[in-house]
Amino acid sequence: MKTALITGVTGQDGAYLVDFLLKKGYNVFGTYRRLSTPNFWRLQYLNVFDKIDLIPVDLIDTGSILEAIKIANPDEVYHLAAQSFVGASFEQPTSTGMVTGIGTTRLLEAIRVFNSHIKFYNAATSELYGTVKTEPQNENTSFFPASPYATAKLYSFWITSNYRLGYDIFASNGILFNHESCLRGLEFVTRKISNSVAKIKLEIEKTLEIGNLDTKRDWGFAPEYVEAMWLMLQQEKPDDFVIATNETHSVREFVEKAFEIAGLNWEDHVRLNKRFKRPLETGILRGDYTKAKQKLGWEPKTKFEDLVKIMVDEDLKRWKMWLDGKAFPWDAPNYPTESRILSRSMTLEKL
């Protein structure tokens, strides 16, 4: 039986990867960051919380990382933990660099010292391409990161490559384009849309405020993307792979489709708000997954329209259950109203 250690196990990808690996017969350990309020709802939602072992780890603390490697003694490490919200990285650029960038080095050093035969997966991102004009983007496309988050991830990408070449560690980068699900965090635009549409449909809210309707992304389905992570570590040699759908859709399209599924006219409820715009926007992100298809045998299955429907239907179901007084693992009722959260974008507007 193989053993896997997943950093950032409480996130969307971490939870889906736990479910996937357990079905493959793995013994699974997961690291999480201690918070005053535990954030295990995704693991509970998938009914896997009681099937794994959890280890508290902070990526700025080398000792806790070494302890996690020692306790788990894994065959494979899936490094998913990060400060992963682009907007927050503009507000907290230094800590984003320490956690998302340097944290990867600490983890790789722990592997090098403890057991260099551990296979390592690093969660890279399509945000690396940033303002690049080439479309679609593949493994040979140049990187032009357009946020502190993307810049930290660029460091993470190259340090993973350095340890692969310099220390002969099996270390692969997965350049994953946007991948969504009903377990996506509410700070991300897709879940913000599906959640708001459900609340508007049920007359809990009246409007949805969006920063930029014209931003375009390559959106896939998260459970399919964690399979690609696993496939990368089953190869004979480590390598880097783009995981995407090779389709691009705008935020406007996502909004239109989400409201259509709920039987509503989006123009009656959507308001533009400059405070939700990024200080620096990326170009059109569309990933070419040809290499993954040829070498991993992987390709996406869920289409854009189906993805939007999955998310809207699930948020509608959950809000109806909440209105009925039912208890279940969920994040939305505890999420603060965005209008009360002060951000750096408000300062920029005044400059």
* Residue 200 sits in the same domain as residue 84: no
Q: Check residue 116 and give its pLDDT.
A: 97
Give 347's pLDDT tier (boundaries 50, 70, 90).
very low
> Does 271 lie in the same domain as 151?
no
Among residues 7, 10, 31, 125, the one annotated as catalytic is 125
Reported as a single tens digit per residue, the pLDDT across 201-211 is: 999 999 999 98
Do 80 and 135 lie in a common domain?
yes
Of 303, 304, 287, give the one whose Cα is nearest residue 252.
304
Residue 199, φ and ψ in degrees, nearest 5: -70, -35
% the chain with pLDDT above 90: 81
Do both 83 and 227 map to the same domain? yes
Tell me the CATH number at 263. Answer: 3.90.25.10
Per-residue pLDDT, 335: 78
> β-strands 220-221, 208-210: how paired?
unpaired
For residue range 2-42, list pLDDT tens digits in order.
Answer: 999 999 999 999 999 999 999 999 999 999 988 766 789 99
pLDDT score recorded for residue 338: 57
Residue 291 is assigned to a structural domain of this protein = no
Are 39 and 13 contacting, i.e. CB atoms less than 8 angstroms apart?
no
Rounded Cα distance, 115 and 92, in Å:
33
Look at residue 285 and tell me if it is in a domain. no
Residue 337 in this model has a pLDDT that exceeds 70: no
Q: 43: Cβ–Cβ under 8 A, 6 or more apart, which residues? A: 9, 10, 15, 18, 30, 49, 52
Residue with the larger pLDDT of the pair 86 and 41? 41
* Phi-psi group of 269: left, alpha or beta (phi > 0 → left; psi -120 to 50 → alpha; rest → beta): alpha
Whether 290 is in a domain gets the answer no
Which position has the token pair 């070449």? 165
List Cα–Cα distances, 65 to 62, 87, 229, 284, in angstroms. Answer: 5, 27, 21, 36
Q: Which of 32, 121, 149, 225 is catalytic?
A: 149
Note whether residue 293 is domain-resident: no
82 pLDDT band (50/70/90 cuts)? confident
Q: Kindly give the pairing relationship between strand 249-250 and strand 216-217.
A: antiparallel
Stretch 221-242: mean pLDDT: 98
Q: What is the mean pLDDT of residues 156-185?
A: 98
Q: How many residues does the chain have?
A: 351
Does 348 have pLDDT greater than 60? Answer: no
Task: State the pLDDT at residue 328.
Answer: 94
Specify the pLDDT at position 85: 56
Q: Reply yes or no on whether 127 is catalytic.
A: yes
pLDDT score for 346? 41
Residue corresponding to tokens 């709802």: 41
- Specify if 227 maps to a domain: yes
Q: Is residue 286 part of a domain?
A: no
User: Are the C-beta atoms of residues 230 and 129 closer than 8 Å to each other?
Assistant: no
Whether residues 23 and 169 fall in one domain: yes
Find out whether 232 and 241 touch, Cβ atoms under 8 Å. Answer: yes
**Using the 8-state DSSP alphabet, how is residue 225 labeled?**
H
pLDDT of residue 164: 98
Q: What is the CATH number of the domain that holds 60?
A: 3.40.50.720
pLDDT at 123 over 90: yes
25 and 120 housed in the same domain: yes
pLDDT score, position 268: 97
> Six-digit token pair at 311?
């998310």
* Rounded average pLDDT over 176-195: 96
- Is 125 tagged catalytic? yes
Number of domains in the chain: 2
Closest CA to 31 of 117, 17, 105: 17
Cα angle 239, 140, 247; round to 5: 95
Query: Could you check whether the bond before residue 136 is cis, i.e. omega within 30 degrees of 0?
Result: yes
C-alpha 199/C-alpha 218 separation (Å) is 26
Decide if 316 contacts 127 (C-beta within 8 A). Answer: no
Decide: residue 253, CB within 10 A, 0-12 exposed, 13-18 middle, 19+ buried: middle
Cβ–Cβ < 8 Å for 292, 243: yes
Active site residue 37: no
Residues 314 and 230 in one domain: no
Query: Do 157 and 211 reside in the same domain of the chain?
Result: no
96 has a pLDDT exceeding 90:
no
To the nearest whole number, what is the mean pLDDT of the chain? Answer: 92
Is 113 inside a domain boundary? yes
Give pLDDT, residue 99: 87
**What is the per-residue pLDDT for 95?**
80
Which of 26, 76, 127, 151 is an active site residue? Answer: 127
Domain that holds residue 101: 3-179+218-243
Q: Taking a C-beta distance cutoff of 8 angstroms, is the pair 287, 175 a contact? A: yes
- Kindly state the average pLDDT of the residues 133-145: 95
pLDDT digits (tens, 9 = 90+) for 285-332: 999 999 999 999 999 999 999 999 999 999 999 999 999 999 999 999
Picking from 337, 220, 235, 197, the residue whose alpha carbon sits closest to that of residue 286 is 220
Which is nearest to 132 in space by CA: 286, 341, 320?
286
pLDDT digits (tens, 9 = 90+) for 235-277: 999 999 999 999 999 999 999 999 999 999 999 999 998 776 6
Residue 339 has pLDDT above 90, yes or no: no
Q: What is the pTM of this model?
A: 0.93
Q: Which of 194, 226, 243 is a domain's end point?
A: 243
36 and 128 together in one domain: yes
- 17 with 152, same domain: the answer is yes
Q: Same domain, yes or no, for 168 and 99?
A: yes
User: Is the pLDDT assigned to residue 345 strictly greater than 50?
Assistant: no
- From residue 334, how far is each of 41, 70, 168, 330 by CA, in Å? 12, 35, 45, 9
Q: Are residues 229 and 269 in the same domain?
A: no
Bridge partners, residue 31, by sequence: 55
In a domain, 309, yes or no: yes
Residue 281 near residue 215, CB atoms below 8 Å: yes
